Structure 1
Amino acid sequence: MTFERTFDILSHLKENSQKQDIFCAKKNGSWVKFSVDDYNRNARDFAKGLIQMGFKKGDKIATVSNNRPEWNFVDMGMSMVGVIHVPIYPTISEEEFSYIFNHSEVKMVIVSDVSLYKKIKPIVALNKNIEYLYTFNVIEDASNWNEISKLGEEHRVKLKNTLEQYKQEVNSDDVASIIYTSGTTGMPKGVMLTHGNFLNNVAGVWEMFQIDRNSRVLSFLPLCHVYERMVNYLFQAKECSIYYAESLGSIASDMASARVNAFATVPRVIERIYDKIVSKGEDLNGIKKMIFFWAMRLGEKYSDANNNSFIYKLQLKLARKLVFSKWQRSFGGELKFVISGGAALQPRLSRLFFAAGIHLMEGYGLTETSPVIATNYSISPGNLKIGTVGPVLKNIEVKIDQDGEILTKGPCVMKGYYKNPELTAEVIDEDGWFHTGDIGELVDSKFLKITDRKKEMFKTSSGKYIAPQAIENMLKESIFIEQSMVVGESEKFASALISPNFDYLHMWAHDHKIHFRDNKELVTDKNILKIFQKEVGKTNKLLGQHEQIKRFRIVCEPWSAPGGELSATLKLKRRVLYVKYADILRDIYSYELGQENKGSISFNRDN
């Protein structure tokens, strides 16, 4: 199936599907369904409303919203007119909102709810380019997006031919969206993605996943992110029923009630699901607890090459019946596969899910590549290797540069950074190769493996290179560790800052009768320090001598996007963390054995 412009997906649906539940969303606790006819009518009316208001090809409209059917209505309406969609994360700072509004020169902003409306209204008032502020939810004294659709409906007949002319003027090389990267340093960059960029990526993954018009999928990653955006187009083109989760807190219940067959996610969500499963296992007693953890240990030995022994397969069959079948039931009983992207996935988690009969497949890409470059898939043999991000898509090229950097070329590579040709020239060379900034290798000349970010690798004072991401991901395999940051550039050894999994740590402390007033006191308890010493020691056994974590500090707060320590895509904001923990980092490298650490929130380990 080939499409040239994003709204061709809607035309395909209108011509080929009578589906009554192309979109589903929760309202008052129940699923509300929207048909293909609903989708088509709302999108076309919105497009005609924009035309009546004077919008034309190349104008820009920003949305700041949660996932919802209306997001698609306005997205498709914009694309028909040639208006460029600028989707923005709802969780960014006021400074970032102001920057993006000014930089992108949007003429309209649409927000989802009253809290965002109150936050963004004063920012909009200071921006001379923004003429309109609308909301999706009905809010007193605020203009609602439906007013635009009603305007289009009023002029439906008059603007019918005009809309068709607008659509004909849109081609695959036109910019469909400017997506501002969340960024871990500085202000975000505006990535210009064309209709062709998105749709070539849809074509690249078309045959990889077993979904069709009978499939139900859950959507909860932000649609303003390129990953969920492209997957959303894929699901629509495949005529799947898309269920939008009510909130991040309701993912499990929404998944179960919708009995979904697939969803796209990021590793952090999988890690959270795993933590909850382990917590339930910890609550068991006697033989049930023994069987649970036996099954977990067995699952971690699963081989994607299907070369486990006959005895193992018998044991796995029993484990699936006694333990892993409950996983399936918690997901609604019909989950077939999960696609993970956005960050590195712990291989053991993938093995566990495969052992449970749920195919958890990792992929890789960037906003600038629309996004998928490579992905594992199990629909046909020989295209899955746990620990890698899978084979490269057939419609793009990848090569490994002399310094190990991954370069890619093809129809998915962005048009460039908006208003920044100099930066565009830095990342796309004269031969058209996009420099990803990631270090990797091709395993078995087929499977792409990411080893680190080029800019994040550092040298110790002895001249040894350290790839921090790989070590951080190994540390995060511990249920006690939520996040970690490995440091040590130009120092004698590597160290780490560790943010614990406080939900689990509190439960563990309660079970072991450890009393504490707050997290600061908890992370200084000698029993807690011994646990983290043990967990870091497990990782050190897997590392080379120069990579081992010689010292680490446990911080007393979780890291999050709202807190500023993580980006909107849950990547470490290293510069922010370096500033926030400057005193602790200075202390690490001036530490003398036996010295009491200021603040008493640290632990020293010298090998």
Structure 2
Amino acid sequence: MQFQDWLRSLRSGGGVRVPDVEELRRFLPSSLSLSLSSSSLLGLGALASLTAYWLVTRPRPIRPPCDLHSQSIPIEGDPSCRRSALLPDETLLEFYYEDTRTAYDMFLRGVRVAGDGPCLGFRKAGEPYQWISYNEVCEQAQVLGSGLLSRGCQPGPQQVIGIFAQNRPEWVIAELACYTFSMAVVPLYDTLGQEAMVHILNIAEISMVICDKPEKAESLLSNKEQGLTPGLGCIVLMTPCSDALLERARNCGLDILQLGQLMELGRHNLREPVPPKPEDLAVVCFTSGTTGKPKGAMITHGNIASNTSSVIKILEGSFVIRQEDVSISYLPLAHMFERMIQVSMFCHGARVGFYQGDLSLLMDDIKTLRPTFFPVVPRLLNRIYDKIMGSVGSPLRRAVLLYAVKRKQAELSSGVVRNNSFWDKLVFSNIQASLGGNLRFILTASAPISPTVLSFLRATLGCLIFEGYGQTECTAGCTFSMPGDWTAGHVGAPLPCAMVKVSDIPEMNYFASNGEGEICIKGHSVFRGYLRDAQRTAEALDADGWLHTGDVGKWLPNGVLRIIDRKKHIFKLSQGEYIAPEKIENVYTRSAPVLQVFVHGDSLQSHLIGIVVPDPEVLAQWARERGIVGSYEELCRNPDLKKAVLDDMTVIGKEAGLKSFEQVKAVFLSSEVFSVSNGLLTPTLKSRRAALCQAFQTQIRQLYGQSAL
């Protein structure tokens, strides 16, 4: 071993072997080595060992894939219209791997990578996860697809199959069964309601639905009995049902089969796969919407491949999905966010473990599964943040926590992300263990997240946390935060599959010349249109193929996008001022006692009022600090506490730059949380504004009466 070689190995941090005393003598000039004692040489050896250890174990910053000061490039010199800086030219990315041009291709790649390795995991209460291998999933998909064909379904994207189930392995197998024979999927979900469900079954011409539970089959059967869904001819159940249900179905000309029966039929009539093409329809994803009938966004295999490939491209230097990686599946498979994550995992032969179907048991599932990949929505991250802050009661513990966060955030600012620092071991280890202790990657999307919460959790969890922005109509995402950029308050740069621009909204004083306006998207991930709905398709897609999102964005100097407003839900106050309530709501949720808030205005009124749901885990302590005590319900009725909450919201609003007319002047504290089950939130956790107005109409009238006095 030469001395120069040893130095080079130290500098590179590679495999380092510390030289022994005799080697040290050979490294040094003979005149010097003769004068050194053995103890001196041993000291040099110890120093060399420490140096080598430090070089090998020192934290290394993540190398960004591009210049973080220029993360997107203007197209044709127009700074309001931009593309990813990762592209060599203006040719947008269609696929990452040559053999992955469809969702089906991406799964088959996983089969080649993993073979008999685990693919889909499930568990029963108190038991470990059981796994189905990639080869088994592939075989079952072909068998089930063959069974569908034996029941009269036709191979090709014109054949649409409904899937009405919670997240579970059979959901994925059913979807892959359709893709194996180029058929399309329509996901259905509980919170649609009868009217929306009937609309979807009819407009999509669904003749067969695969269900998980008899209760869902009963709801479909009830519509059939009333003559509302004449085209529905067969229900396939994943679990057993009663003879009475079978008899009811027969009486109205509806077949109910067990999944096992259909698969047995497929085994006896096995067909060769008919793989889809990139332009073929893969899924019609019906968006729940806040008003009106659901719209069926038509997503192709090429849309899915380009969108997934773009995320892989962005992460290629910092986070390569490995076969041993595992994701926890609990976000609804009826929506594209969760499905795109699973496609990414399958493409690399990684594992997906399903929760038990009960969100109250999710943390137990996470501790058992120990995922490395955790998809989340901001609301869950807010809960984690509140739990952590609520667990540090004493001033000393809080001071230590905040100091440790500050030290970790200093590392993040230099690009270092790790979970093995002194502060991780001293302060954050229990927090990380509560999420399985194995996380490498968190992705948050679907709604804005507070920069404070995002920066805090990046420090405490010690893993990569990325934020994305998009919507169903662009398959899932259109922007994604860049590895190495751990700043908050933006949603990253355009994905390599799409161009993103901002366009003028004169009535809201947003102009593209200032880098502000409605966010518009064009590229390989943009959907084909809404199923049999030319009018709403024309409203979403303009003549040049740009998707108009209804969100308002601002380009920052380093080429990333910040979401600043919402175009769709704007209204005027009586004095003529335009109000964007969602922007105001996002500000007010930074108030410590506020869990949820609904900002309401009336064109006949000159000011805003708010319906506030206080955070049950924060409110009692927050109120006690102000000398107010009582149960949660009593606190919500307490006028002094209501005033304190309003005052805190007003302070937060001023700090965020809200104008006086954008501040609420009165609030009602509701002890009932807005949720999907009570109809006040969509399944993607967006406010149903019309439903909220209806639910709180009495309180709204009272608030306007109060604030008018």
What TM-score, normalized to structure 1?
0.88
- Asked if residue 377 in structure 1 is aligned to residue 479 in structure 2, the reply is no
Partner of 1:602: none
1:496 aligns to 2:600 (yes or no): no
Q: How does 1:357-368 map to 2 (within 5 A)?
A: 357-368=462-473
- Which has the larger displacement, 105-114 or 12-21? 12-21
Q: 1:100 aligns with which of 175, 193, 200?
A: 200
Change in 2 beyond 3 A, CA 1:386/1:510: closer
**CA spacing shift, 1:339–1:446, aligned 2, 3 Å:** same
Specify which of 312, 327, 331 is matched with residue 206 of structure 1.
312
Correspondence for 1:52 among 120, 134, 150: 150
1:42 to 2:144 alignment: no
SS at match of 1:523: helix
For residues 72-101 of structure 1, the C-alpha deviation after alignment (integer angstroms, 9 at most, x for no partner) is 111011112222200012233222222211
What letter corresponds to residue 113 of structure 2 in structure 1? N
CA distance in structure 2 between the partners assigned to 1:9 and 1:237 by the alignment? 5
Query: Which of the two has higher C-alpha Rg?
Result: 2
**AA of the residue aligned to 1:502:** P
Which aligned pairs between 1:396-415 and structure 2 lie closer than 5 A? Answer: 396-403=498-505, 404-415=517-528
Q: Is the 8 A contact 1:59 1:107 kept in 2?
A: no
The equivalent residue for 2:81 is none
When residues 107 and 302 of structure 1 are mapped into structure 2, their CA distance, relative to the original with a 3 A threshold, is farther
Aligned to 1:224: 334
Aligned to 1:291: 400
Percent same amino acid among aligned pairs?
28
Query: For the structure 1 residues 294 and 114, does the alpha-carbon distance in structure 2 shift closer, same or farther, using more than 3 Å as the test?
Result: farther
- Does the alignment pair 1:215 with 2:325? yes
1:334 to 431, 438, 442: 438
- Are positions 1:455 and 2:564 aligned together? no
2:102 is the counterpart of 1:5: yes
Shift of 1:419: 0.6
What CA distance in whole angstroms lies between the structure 2 residues aligned with 1:497 and 1:186? Answer: 23
Provide the rounded CA distance (Å) in 1 between the counterparts of 2:201 and 2:363. Answer: 35
Q: Any stretches of 5+ residues in structure 2 without a counterpart?
A: 1-96, 244-255, 506-516
**Distance 1:427-1:239 versus aligned 2 partners, 3 A rule:** same
What SS does structure 1 have at the residue aligned with 2:613?
A: strand
**The one of 281, 301, 304 aligned to 1:195:** 301
1:541-567 per-residue CA deviation (whole Å, 9 max, x = no partner) reads 213333223222222321111101111
CA distance in 2, matches of 1:133, 1:251: 29
Counterpart contact for 1:438–1:453, Cα < 8 Å: yes
Cα distance 1:530–1:460, how it changes in 2: closer, same or farther (>3 A)? closer
Code of the residue aligned with 1:133 in structure 2: it is I
The alignment partner of 1:176 has SS state of strand
Per the alignment, residue 475 of structure 1 pairs with 588
Asked if 1:386 is matched to 2:492, the reply is no
Amino acid at match of 1:501: D
Please point out which of 288, 306, 311 is paired with 1:182: 288
The match for 1:144 is 258
Match of 1:18 among 115, 126, 129: 115
- The number of residues matched between the two structures is 572
Tell me if structure 2 keeps the 8 A contact 1:133–1:143: yes
How far off its partner does 1:352 sit?
0.6
| Deviation per residue, 1:364-411 (Å, 9 max, x gap) | 011110011001132xx3x55411111101121011102211111001
Q: Aligned partners of 2:133, 2:401: CA distance in 1, in Å?
A: 43
In 2: Cα distance, 1:397 partner to 1:7 partner = 26
Greater mean deviation of Cα atoms: 360-369 or 107-116: 107-116
- Alpha-carbon distance between aligned partners in 2 of 1:31 and 1:478, rounded to the nearest angstrom: 40
Give the superposition deviation at 1:503: 4.5
- Structure 1 residues 412 and 384: alpha-carbon distance in aligned structure 2, compared to 1, 3 A threshold: farther
CA apart distance, 1:472: 1.1
If asked which structure has higher relative contact order (CA below 8 Å, sep 6+), I would say 2
| Conserved 8 A contact 1:217-1:243 | yes
Change (3 A) 1:295 1:526: farther
- Aligned residue among 534, 553, 557 for 2:672: 557
Are 2:587 and 2:653, in contact at CA under 8 Å, matched by a contact in 1?
A: no
**Farther off after superposition, 49-58 or 563-572:** 49-58
CA distance in 1, matches of 2:544, 2:398: 58
Q: Of 353, 357, 368, which aligns to 2:457? A: 353
Give a deviation string over 1:574-602, Cα, whole Å, max 9, x none.
Answer: 11111222232233333357x6xxxxxxx
TM-superposed deviation, 1:217: 1.5
Measured in 2, the distance between the counterparts of 1:333 and 1:174 equals: 41
Offset of 1:9 from its aligned partner?
2.2
Distance in 1 (CA, whole Å) between partners of 2:495 and 2:687 is 28
Give 1:318 deviation, angstroms.
Answer: 5.8
Q: Which runs of 5+ in 1 are unaligned?
A: 596-607
Q: Secondary structure at the match of 2:610?
A: strand
Task: Give the residue type in structure 1 aligned to 2:377.
Answer: V
Deviation at 1:293, TM superposition (A): 5.5
Output the aligned Cα RMSD.
Answer: 2.6
Aligned to 1:603: none
Q: CA deviation at 1:44?
A: 0.5
Deviation at residue 275 of structure 1 after TM alignment: 2.4
What SS is found at the alignment partner of 1:99? helix
Between the aligned partners of 1:128 and 1:386, the Cα distance in structure 2 is 51
- 2:170 paired with 1:70: yes
User: In structure 2, what is the Cα distance between the partners aligned to 1:506 and 1:92?
Assistant: 35
- Per-residue deviation, 1:303: 8.5
Between the aligned partners of 1:273 and 1:358, the Cα distance in structure 2 is 15
Q: CA deviation at 1:305?
A: 4.0
1:461–1:13 distance in 2 versus 1, CA, 3 Å: same
**Selected match of 1:244 from 354, 364, 372:** 354
Q: Deviations over 1:198-234 (max 9, x none)?
A: 1111111113341221212112101110111111111
Q: Deviations over 1:241-286 (max 9, x none)?
A: 111112322222222222211111111111222222233224xx46
The one of 349, 367, 373 aligned to 1:256: 367
- The corresponding residue for 1:86 is 186
Match of 2:231 in 1: 129
**Contact preservation (8 Å) 2:115, 2:133:** yes
Q: Give me the whole-angstrom Cα distance separating, in 2, the residues matched to 1:494 and 1:306.
A: 43
- For the residue of structure 1 that corresponds to 2:391, the secondary structure is helix
Paired residue secondary structure (2:493)? coil
Matched AA of 2:195? E
- Give the structure 2 partner of residue 306 of structure 1: 414
The separation in 2 between residues aligned to 1:346 and 1:19, in whole angstroms, is 42
> Counterparts of 1:17 and 1:423 in 2: how far apart (Å)?
43
